[in-house]
Amino acid sequence: MSLYPFETETREAKDLSGIWNFRPDSKGVGRKEKWHLGQWSESQMMAVPSSYNDVSQDVALRDHVGDVWYQRPVFVPASWKGDRVYLRVDAACHRGTVWLNGKEITSHKGGYLPFEADITESANYGGENKLVICVNNILDYTILPPGEIKTEKHAWGTITWQDIQHDFFNYAGLHRPVRLCRVPATYIADITTVPSVQGTTGSLKCSIETSGSTPHTVEWTARDHTGNTVATGSGANATLKILKARLWEPGNAYLYTLEAKLVSKAGVLLDVYRFPVGIRTVQIKGKRFYINGKPFYFKGFGKHEDASIRGKALDHALNVKDFNLMRWIGANSARTSHYPYSEEFMQMADRDGLVVIDESPAVGLQFFGKTTKFFIPEKGGNPELLRHHIEVMQDLIRRDKNYACVVMWSVQNEAGTDEEGSRPYFQAVIEATRKADPCKRPVTGVVCTTPTTDITCDLYDVVCVNRYHGWYWHPGRWTMIAPSMIAELKAWYKNFKKPVIITEYGADTVEGLHMDPPVIFSEEYQIKFLDCNHEAFDACDFVIGEHVWNFADFATKQGITRVNGNRKGVFTRERQPKSAAFALKKRWSDPSFDERMAAKK
Ligand code: GCB
């Protein structure tokens, strides 16, 4: 995977978003019948990017399990010959295989990270190319998130379905853009920046990976928002020093433009890449989390990439609305629960000053007493899962390492971290994560175990806990929330001596349902539930953050505990506020809130 395909004077990217030809492969015959040759006599229309599930009137497509096929013609300009040409697929959920002109050019496992195929040799320049992508949505125990295909035999027949252990609909398809890209034959393959601050000087330690045979030198320039050069450097590794640097701050982001140029010995520009970069520091000391040396209290949400009709697809209008709502309500942070979000989302967070906990797609590694079997290869577990998990963390960090908004990695959500085998498994994942990040950000994982049963939390820098007193435990009994939460939080701190973020607390709420005294599912209960939790958080000086579950209502699989999806949103799925939104806004927008949280005793 190379750099995000920003265009420059040496680089081009054609966004292939639009209507593609589409065929669900309900009988699983596509490969045998060579659908990859792209000679289709019939097909449906499909939007890219989109999940395919909710755009159809066909229940079989909504609940489809297996392959679907996408196809479209692609024109590769003759002028691109001699350069490096590649296809970039930003997200094929959950497995993608790509053919160009009938030849397989790449395949990839994992639905939330980009992958590429070099087509420099195989493209038909100055003419049409047949692009075919097969996307498979099957989840098993070798992929994140894990799942299982279940079969039940009855006298009247056999039924088969995809079983999942996570609480969001298994949307699938080409969820993010597909692009045709051109870079020079000798090009910038990757850039790594490590920011630091010394007094009023900001430093960016920059390093570059290049590819290609033309000998070259590297020139670096950092510019401010007016285009003024504020620092320069040269060489594959350089440290740029910006005097009187403006720092990237939560809610008050400042981004410099970093430019890297490859110049030939004869002084010819070979390649140039520019991207926005923020300077900030992150540190944990004792009970506090510091950004730029100031104590930071996380207030915000666990989110989802989810909306009606397009499912999990990138939607710029929706993202802008979400960022506006987060600012409106006074949120300063979010977790990319439960998978890496689009690069465009990360860029918006960087620009808007939204602090991000960047999470892997390891959700639902809960095997309910059978964890040993999955986590320990010697006991029959599949080593493929751990290998894939480590690879996903490495790819995520390669993709997101330069974003100032990312202040912590989350390696998992609610794994069975009280079961034998989970410790060596996560020890390996955490170690690989720390090793992969050049910026050495803190690492966490989100637990739902108890302070006495968890066997992994000492491995993390921050204890992140999902807790639902007054909802899953003692639903409706809100008077119990504050005392039971305080007792539990204190036990987490006593046992692990790390700052604590409550990464999930929330109550399903049907907008328009009013009950006084408060009763579960009513708007009044959501407010009461949040208030009682806040009373507990405010009483614990080691609590450094609160992320309400969830920002907005979202789709789940069908089940008797979900009435039209998960309704714990503070906003509806259409992004309208429930009453709790106004209560949260009052708490989080209070000018003294951040100061009070920072000074908690
Ligand atoms: C959790 C999960 C989240 C669910 C939530 C709920 O603990 O992390 O994915 O949606 O609970 O509402 O049940």
Residue 166 CA: distances (Å) to CA of 44, 143, 144, 148, 489: 30, 13, 11, 12, 25
Least confident of 170-174, 274-278, 375-379, 421-425: 375-379
590 three-class SS: coil
- Domain containing 220: what range? 187-277
CB 279 within 8 A of CB 197: yes
Least confident of 89-93, 371-375, 467-471, 478-482: 371-375
CB of 471 sitting under 6 A from ligand 1? no
Task: Output the pLDDT for position 260.
Answer: 98
| Percent over 70 (pLDDT), the chain | 97
Model confidence band, residue 279 (pLDDT cutoffs 50, 70, 90): very high
Instruction: Assess whether 254 and 341 both reside in one domain.
Output: no
Domain-located, residue 592: no
Is 414 a catalytic site residue?
yes
User: Mean per-residue pLDDT for 162-173?
Assistant: 96
CB of 366 sitting under 6 A from ligand 1? no
Residue nearest to atom 5 of ligand 1 (CA): 167
Instruction: Assess whether 143 and 219 both reside in one domain.
Output: no
CB of 568 sitting under 6 A from ligand 1? yes
Q: How far apart are CA 178 and CA 87, in angstroms?
A: 7
Is 249 a catalytic site residue?
no
Task: Output the pLDDT for position 378.
Answer: 67
Task: Output the pLDDT for position 419.
Answer: 86
User: Mean per-residue pLDDT for 213-237?
Assistant: 97
Domain-located, residue 325: no
163 Cα–ligand 1 center, Å: 17
Convert the pLDDT of each residue in 60-86 to its tens digit.
Answer: 999 999 999 999 999 999 999 999 999
Residue where one domain finishes, among candidates 445, 466, 487? 466
Convert the pLDDT of each residue in 194-210 to its tens digit.
Answer: 999 999 999 999 999 99
545 three-class SS: strand
pLDDT higher than threshold 90 for residue 296: yes
pLDDT higher than threshold 80 for residue 541: yes
Domain-located, residue 218: yes
Task: Output the pLDDT for position 339.
Answer: 98
pLDDT higher than threshold 70 for residue 369: no
Instruction: Assess whether 149 and 35 both reside in one domain.
Output: yes
Domain-located, residue 419: yes
Instruction: Assess whether 60 and 172 both reside in one domain.
Output: yes
What count of Cα atoms within 13 Å lies in the side-chain half-sphere of residue 44? Answer: 15
Instruction: Assess whether 175 and 193 both reside in one domain.
Output: no
Q: How far apart are CA 254 and CA 278, in angstroms?
A: 6
Instruction: Assess whether 50 and 109 both reside in one domain.
Output: yes
Domain-located, residue 34: yes
Instruction: Assess whether 177 and 198 both reside in one domain.
Output: no
Residue nearest to atom 6 of ligand 1 (CA): 167
- On the 0-12 / 13-18 / 19+ scale of CB atoms within 10 A, 516 is exposed
Domain-located, residue 534: no
Convert the pLDDT of each residue in 413-425 to its tens digit.
Answer: 999 999 888 898 9
The more confident residue out of 165 and 244 is 244
pLDDT higher than threshold 70 for residue 241: yes
Instruction: Assess whether 169 and 272 both reside in one domain.
Output: no
267 Cα–ligand 1 center, Å: 57
Instruction: Assess whether 156 and 223 both reside in one domain.
Output: no
What count of Cα atoms within 13 Å lies in the side-chain half-sphere of residue 107? Answer: 9
Q: How far apart are CA 208 and CA 236, in angstroms?
A: 5
pLDDT higher than threshold 80 for residue 373: no
CB of 339 sitting under 6 A from ligand 1? no
In the chain, helix, strand, coil percent, each to 5?
20, 35, 40
Query: What CATH number corresponds to the domain at position 210?
Result: 2.60.40.10
Domain-located, residue 177: yes
pLDDT higher than threshold 80 for residue 368: no
User: Mean per-residue pLDDT for 342-352?
Assistant: 98
Residue where one domain finishes, among candidates 126, 160, 183? 183
Instruction: Assess whether 384 and 442 both reside in one domain.
Output: yes
438 Cα–ligand 1 center, Å: 31
167 Cα–ligand 1 center, Å: 6
CB 295 within 8 A of CB 598: yes
* From 359, 414, 488, 546, the catalytic residue: 414
Query: What CATH number corresponds to the domain at position 64?
Result: 2.60.120.260
Task: Output the pLDDT for position 438.
Answer: 97
Instruction: Assess whether 273 and 255 both reside in one domain.
Output: yes
Phi first, then psi: give them for residue 99, nearest 5 degrees.
-120, 140
Query: What CATH number corresponds to the domain at position 380?
Result: 3.20.20.80
Instruction: Assess whether 51 and 150 both reside in one domain.
Output: yes
Q: Which helix (H) or strand (E) holds 23?
A: strand 18-24
Report the domain count for the chain.
Answer: 3
Model confidence band, residue 383 (pLDDT cutoffs 50, 70, 90): confident
Residue where one domain finishes, among candidates 131, 153, 183? 183
Closest CA to 102 of 71, 67, 66: 71
CB of 549 sitting under 6 A from ligand 1? yes
Domain-located, residue 379: yes
pLDDT higher than threshold 90 for residue 601: no
The CB density around residue 564, as the number of other CB atoms within 10 Å, is 11
